[in-house]
Amino acid sequence: MAASALHLKHPLPVQIDFGAGLHEQVEPPQEFVVLADPSAVTQDMRLRWLQRWGERCLGWVWQDHRMSSLDAAQSLARQIWPSLAGLSQKALWVIGGGTTLDLGKMLRWVMPAIDEAAQAWRDNQIVQGATRHTLWCSPTTSGTGSEVTPWATVWDLQASPACKRSWFTPDGYPDRALVDSQLSLSCPPSVTRDCALDALSHALESIWNRSASPMSRPLAQEAARLVLTHLPALLQRPDDAALRERLAYASLLAGLAMAQTQTALAHALSYDLTLRENVPHGMACAVWLPMVMDLAMARDAAVSQELQTLFALPSRQAVQSLQSWLEDIGVRCRDLRASPAGSLILSEALRSQRGRNFVGV
């Protein structure tokens, strides 16, 4: 599996390194600053890596914010940007889950005034005089896909009402993705499940997507198949290194598909659940997947056939199979079509930026 991932053909400007134990061997080619999630990187790992890296590591910052908010980014900028200031050849190495990786995409741009950065992020603008730094991303969960996409989710908690924004620049891709399944061994079962659900959502949303292509479809199909096949077993055997590697591979494939299509309706519906009900992102997407899959199969015959092939079942049974699979691992699926209020929410989501990616819109 590792060899095929290393030679995977994709149209994205990201160098991909894949392999269990990768971080015990990799030698960074230039000076860098680390931003790491303390729930995924132990002090023993940190000390071991620092001893090997030596003076090439210019600083280490822990990222312990729950959300990739503007406030979190500004707080971290005060710690990271002084070490990155100067030559653009310095890299930012981000090691963590989706929240940490998304913050890294924002922080790679060192802006002249930290106090003005929040407004620049809010407006999705690069201010004059900002310096772009090399970005390396090491996911510690199997689900984010952020290591191979150019955009970041940004929560604006100061807005009224609080809202989700996207940070995107044309050259926003990480320069390097280092996917090491051993980094996910510290994930508890709930995080393992929710992150894998995010990967499954990325895969399925890339199938029922207006921008799906002959390049993205095989990646999405294989990613979905791997998650559906191996996640239940991994939840029973969380220390199984081989299963961890398969889920890491699934997450990478789903991320590569998503980077070409973006996400769609299930993600559009997820953000309010995360913000209002504090539902983890992967779960907030997954609760909508059977309803959205049913809508997709009714809207597009080719997508319907593709999903029937994936589940090896006719359309109605395929939707029921997905819902049963989700319920078996603790997901309480939702459907908005039974009430006028729900139908209005669905209609509004279809008109959103992500909703417009859905087939038939």
Answer positive or negative: Cα dihedral of 113, 116, 122, 126: negative
Summarize the confidence of residues 114-136 as an average pLDDT.
92
**CATH classification at residue 163:** 3.40.50.1970
Whether residue 17 sits in one domain with residue 151: yes
Whether residues 127 and 255 share a domain: the answer is no
Average pLDDT value for residue range 334-350: 96
158 and 86 in a common domain: yes
Do 215 and 288 sit in the same domain of this protein?
Answer: yes
pLDDT value, residue 70: 95
1-15, 115-129, 196-210, 257-271: which has the minimum mean pLDDT? 1-15
Rounded CA-CA distance 117/256 in Å is 29
pLDDT at 85: 83
CA 129 to chain centre: 29
Residues in CB range of 209: below 8 A, 6 or more apart: 216, 261, 262, 264, 357, 358, 359
> Which range is most confident: 84-93, 160-169, 324-333?
324-333
Residue at which a domain ends, from 128, 163, 182: 182
Q: Is the pLDDT of residue 2 over 80?
A: no
pLDDT at 3: 35
Which pLDDT score is estimated for 60?
A: 97
Looking at 182, 199, 234, the residue that finishes a domain is 182
Which structural domain, as residue segments, surrounds residue 28? 2-182
163 and 275 share one domain: no
In this structure, the answer to whether residues 219 and 137 fall within a common structural domain is no
Position 255 scores a pLDDT of 97
* Shared domain check, 198 and 137: no
Residues 38, 56, single domain; the answer is yes
The answer to whether residue 10 scores a pLDDT higher than 60 is yes
pLDDT score for 96: 97
Domain match, 171 and 225 both: no
Q: Which of 125, 149, 182 is the last residue of a domain?
A: 182
Contact status, residue 117 vs residue 77, Cβ threshold 8 Å: yes
Phi and psi, residue 221, nearest 5°: -65, -45
Same domain, 220 and 109: no
**Domain co-membership, 283 together with 138:** no
**Mean of the pLDDT values across residues 42-63?**
96
Structural domain count, the chain: 2
CATH number for 353 = 1.20.1090.10
- As a whole-number percent, the residues of the chain with pLDDT over 90 amount to 88
Tokens 């929040």 found at? 118
One domain, residues 74 and 160? yes
Task: Give the least confident one: 65-69, 175-179, 230-234.
Answer: 65-69
Burial of 302 (0-12, 13-18, 19+ CB in 10 A): exposed
